[in-house]
Structure 1
């Protein structure tokens, strides 16, 4: 199993500098952030300008992978592909197509994205739109020898009231996704932290969707059960400190939260998963600058590396 991290957490560094850093720590993979150069998304990054990628730049990226022994596990671009504004939706769709084509040129096996949601439409209508749009995306991915995957985040920050901003966060919704778009090139970037705060059994989900899990996000979470019983399943509604503040859960780096990573690894091993585990660093306590971000990444590396390499 290759072990890496999502590159966008490190700011003001080139992709080669990030690869060199990854190699120095011991990582052998990297999930590369590929948002547009001009964007306002939190936790985003633009380490490859996919819309203007030249042959020379592509060759250098492939050479740097070999130089630093760091494999690009995925190209990452997560935006609302069902955005209610048709012009915005087209911009997002055009960029995702560019990401998919860049992955094909670079020999990267996976592209990660969100489905999103149009809050002005019913759930049925959202799934109808999803089916039309993602059938096209997956066909393009297949043509470029790439698999397309959805990360299972509800994105409560996309809604003023903190309700889900995507239609792809639970097993119920995954079943509908895969019924509508059955291609084996369409799967999950599996993030156990979201399932934990949603009170969904992440180990059972691994077993039930083993054939659809292409990549695993190593992100942890602390769930305050007392506050959960105070705010309820829909979360905090008044005096929210930031757009993701639901009052009872906090994202943290792996090793400092509720996820039992030994159990999770053993379950992945049980179902035959052996591709990529990638730290998604969204711990606000280790985010003030790159030194703090690196401290968080290295803490998690030291926690997870003995588990996935089965050091006794």
Structure 2
């Protein structure tokens, strides 16, 4: 097992693509998962746009492949928004943007170059608040994503869902924090039954299960490995809370009650589950056994990339580029002994495993929209 280590480029939203590539070489990774969020999107947390998606054609794809081969890096692309819920107008824009990314992946070689498209599914709370709301969301997923996955399949492109529940996507005045359908394994398994095509799968981030008090090792034991294509490298340090417990989210209560009782109240949608985002091996403790997790992936013959998604309190959240790079380097060094054989240079990725991207030179295809689908 010699899985490559990549970086998700949301950590480098301050930098151009060229500078991000330079940082990747400095850190010593083998690939980049390029964030290509809508420039007019509604998210403002850990987003970046590292490709000009409005002017991307065959020539741009050719130059990008040449750039990455020159740097000895592999790549994928993605944007993570709500595609089945939220504001209806934004929902359609997000759907059309995903179709745009699928076209871009096709031009970059798609599955032939292992260029996948990462996305969320999202959640529709108008349906979710009804009886049987979870099932209704699954049916809405099939309605929206069925045509999208079949379109991607026609172009030889695989779509991947990340399992973040996006707990901060609703006001802390709401009780629930489940805002992205594939946030639990049960949903993902049903999703593959509802849309049986093989060209969709998952990016698994174990940190999201850790703060839900779910063992990622058990999740991998029950995961269809044909669907698992990427692992996100992000850790969580869980902090016990005597007031709210650790099963349900902390609620927003009146300032008067907070002051009189000394009970903490949620001040923003993201501070509700008593955890800190960390990177393995960097500064803070970790509520996850990475050795057991990697060993289970080895047992299940996982060969895909481990992608560092840097949202760590002591790294990305400092806003300091030095700390961002330092955190990524620490994560690489922490993973290396778990992934690689020992050599005279230490635990390092074997250069012989690197394969350049194929120069596919694909003919352009017109933009697709949900209306046309």
Q: TM-score, normalised by structure 2?
A: 0.79
User: Equivalences for 1:114-263 in 2 at 5 Å?
Assistant: 114-121=120-127, 122-160=133-171, 161=174, 163-209=177-223, 210-224=225-239, 226-227=240-241, 230-238=244-252, 239-255=265-281, 256=284, 257-263=286-292
Indicate whether 1:300 and 2:306 are aligned.
no
What is residue 273 of structure 1 aligned with on the other side?
302
Partner of 2:262: none
Instruction: Give the conservation status (yes or no) of the 8 Å contact 2:310–2:328.
Output: yes
Aligned mates of 2:341, 2:214 — CA distance in 1: 27
Q: How far apart in 2 are the matches of 1:51 and 1:154?
A: 29
Superposed CA deviations along residues 159-204 of structure 1, whole A, max 9, x for unmatched, are 2135211121112212221221122211110011111111222112
Q: Select 1:58's aligned residue among 57, 61, 64.
A: 61
Q: CA deviation at 1:303?
A: 1.2
Distance 1:247 1:113 in 2: 23
Q: For structure 1, list consecutive stretches of 5 or more residues without a partner in the other structure.
A: none
Which structure is higher in helix share?
1
Structure 1 CA distance, aligned partners of 2:27 and 2:273?
A: 34
Cα distance between partner residues in 2 of 1:97 and 1:228: 46
Q: Which structure 2 residue ranges, 5 or more long, are not aligned?
A: 128-132, 253-264, 348-373
Matched with 2:97 is: 95
Distance in 2 of aligned mates of 1:49 and 1:132: 29
Distance 1:247 1:187 in 2: 27
Q: Is the 8 A contact 2:13 2:49 kept in 1?
A: no
Of structures 1 and 2, the one with the larger relative CO (CA 8 A, separation 6+) is 2
CA distance in 2, matches of 1:232, 1:265: 26
**How far has the Cα of 1:67 moved from its partner?**
0.6
Asked if the contact 1:189/1:217 (under 8 Å) is kept, the reply is yes
The residue number in structure 2 matching 1:23 is: 25
Q: Which stretch shifts more, 112-121 or 157-166?
A: 157-166
CA displacement at 1:40 relative to structure 2: 4.0
Q: Measure, in 1, the Cα distance between the counterparts of 2:241 and 2:71.
A: 45
Between the aligned partners of 2:246 and 2:27, the Cα distance in structure 1 is: 41
Q: What is the CA–CA distance in structure 1 between the aligned matches of 2:192 and 2:122, rounded to whole Å? A: 16
1:107 positional shift: 2.0
Q: Is the 8 A contact 2:6 2:308 kept in 1?
A: yes
* Structure-2 separation of matches of 1:264 and 1:111: 25
CA 24–285 in structure 1, closer or farther in 2 if over 3 Å, else same: closer
Q: Matches of 2:338 and 2:134 in 1, distance apart?
A: 40
Are the equivalent residues in 2 in contact too, given 1:75–1:112 (CA < 8 A)? yes
- State how far apart, in whole Å, the 2-side matches of 1:232 and 1:69 are: 44
Aligned-pair CA distance for 1:21: 1.7
Displaced runs of 4 or more, over 3 A: none
Distance 1:25 1:92, change over 3 A: same
How many pairs were matched up?
A: 310
> Any conservation in 2 of the 1:142–1:185 contact (CA below 8 Å)?
yes
- Normalization by structure 1: what TM-score? 0.93
Tell whether the 8 Å contact from 1:36 to 1:49 is kept in structure 2 after alignment.
no
